[in-house]
Amino acid sequence: MGEELCYFSHTESKGTGIFKEDEMTEILNETPDKIKKTATAIKKLRPAYSKILDFYEKIFTAQEKSAIKTETKPAQLADDIIAIKAKEKFPLFCLSEFSVDVNSSRKLFKKICKIINKSENHMSSAAEIIFAANENKKIDFNDLYAALLHDDDTSFGNIASKLKTDRDTLAFITYNSIKPSLSIFAESASKYLDKDNPWEKGYCPVCGNSPVISTFESDGQRFLTCSFCWHKWTVTRLFCPFCENREAGSLHYLFSEDEQEYRIDVCDRCNKYIKNVDTRIITRFVYLPLEQIATLHLDIMAKEKGFESGVPLELQV
């Protein structure tokens, strides 16, 4: 992306795919190879991203391979609860209600530790300690995952202290090890959403978290993707997901002629931004976690313009 960004006002304009189980398995089987090809294509365009993309390519590939073998308990809600949540615009589930396949997540946890160790990055020393603790059976994964899903900072901090390791690294490995379970559970939960009654909120209708990225898809429709469970939902194009501002005069976007497939949607009211990927322009395979990592230069530029990310960057990478 070029150094200069253009600053534009929004102009208003107006399908999620449904796959059978065998079709979804086939897609998951193909995804790791597509991730590798996409990472390679991006690295050719932006060589500065080579090291970080090499790292996340391995993480994302491991997650997709794990997802094929991951089984979670189907999401279940009573009809009266569904009606109340839909009326009051409450998310379907609390994070603590998400089902996690502990066995597959534990295996992925170990794999991610190995990936970090070999990558020799800022988390490597802590990951080595965590890996050793796992090998010595010092980690209770039920307690670890429960602390994360209950957002229990005290319990999670105590676990990190007991393992004598860095809390942030432990959180990174823990979240990424259960991400396949979260996405699969969210997919199961989405059947309870009213397809005829658009959500039109800035927080995820499944888990209530903020979106990490925005997309334009084939018909020009805008989607937001959750930063936690990665569920995707539709919203109007003229909309700030962080303060629900819909006033055209205070909603703008930044973009570069060099990278027209990307833009930064900014809101003058709450001073926050979200990155947007126009999938109609991109001819290669689009894998949103990879797009999020490969556009960190947009986060830097947005911050230089005085805007803040709606989701803290340390929770995104």
Which residues neighbour 17 within 8 Å (Cβ) at sequence distance 6 or greater?
none
Average pLDDT by stretches of 10, the chain with 317 residues: 39 34 47 93 94 96 96 95 94 97 98 96 96 97 97 97 97 97 97 89 97 93 96 95 96 92 97 96 94 94 95 63
Amino acid at 130: I
Q: Please say which residue of 192, 220, 241 terminates a domain.
A: 192
Tell whether 202 and 172 lie within a shared domain.
no
Q: How many residues does the chain have?
A: 317
Are residues 235 and 203 in contact, defined by beta-carbon separation less than 8 angstroms? no
Residue 146 lies in a domain: yes
Full domain range(s) for residue 274: 6-14+195-315
Residue 243 lies in a domain: yes
233: domain CATH number is 3.90.1670.10
pTM: 0.88
Q: Please say which residue of 175, 192, 209 terminates a domain.
A: 192
The structure tokens 């999670």 sit at 156
What torsion do the CA atoms of 52, 54, 59, 62 make, to the nearest 10 degrees? 170
CB count, 10 Å around CB of 210?
A: 20
Residue 73 lies in a domain: yes
Q: What's the pLDDT at 195?
A: 85
Residue 185 lies in a domain: yes
Please tell me the distance from the alpha carbon of residue 290 to that of residue 166, in angstroms, as a whole number: 25
Tokens of 166: 């860095």
Q: Please say which residue of 192, 227, 251 terminates a domain.
A: 192
Tell whether 103 and 90 lie within a shared domain.
yes
Amino acid at 48: A
How many domains is the chain partitioned into structurally? 2
Please tell me the distance from the alpha carbon of residue 269 to that of residue 161, in angstroms, as a whole number: 40
CB count, 10 Å around CB of 38?
A: 22
Tell whether 158 and 221 lie within a shared domain.
no
Residue 34 lies in a domain: yes
Please tell me the distance from the alpha carbon of residue 108 to that of residue 175, in angstroms, as a whole number: 11
Tell whether 119 and 39 lie within a shared domain.
yes
Tell whether 221 and 297 lie within a shared domain.
yes
Beta strands 211-216 and 272-278: pairing type? parallel
Q: What's the pLDDT at 314?
A: 57
Are residues 208 and 217 in contact, defined by beta-carbon separation less than 8 angstroms? no
Residue 1 lies in a domain: no
Helix, strand counts (H, E) of the chain: 10, 8
Tell whether 231 and 281 lie within a shared domain.
yes
Tell whether 112 and 215 lie within a shared domain.
no
Tell whether 53 and 168 lie within a shared domain.
yes
Residue 283 lies in a domain: yes
Residue of 159, 276, 166, 123 whose CA lies nearest to 213: 276
Tell whether 208 and 293 lie within a shared domain.
yes
Q: Measuring CA to CA, how many Å separate 230 from each of 1, 22, 225, 256, 289? A: 26, 21, 5, 27, 9
Tell whether 187 and 210 lie within a shared domain.
no
Tokens of 120: 């020799």
Tell whether 188 and 220 lie within a shared domain.
no
Are residues 262 and 278 in contact, defined by beta-carbon separation less than 8 angstroms? yes
3-state secondary structure of 228: coil
Tell whether 310 and 181 lie within a shared domain.
no
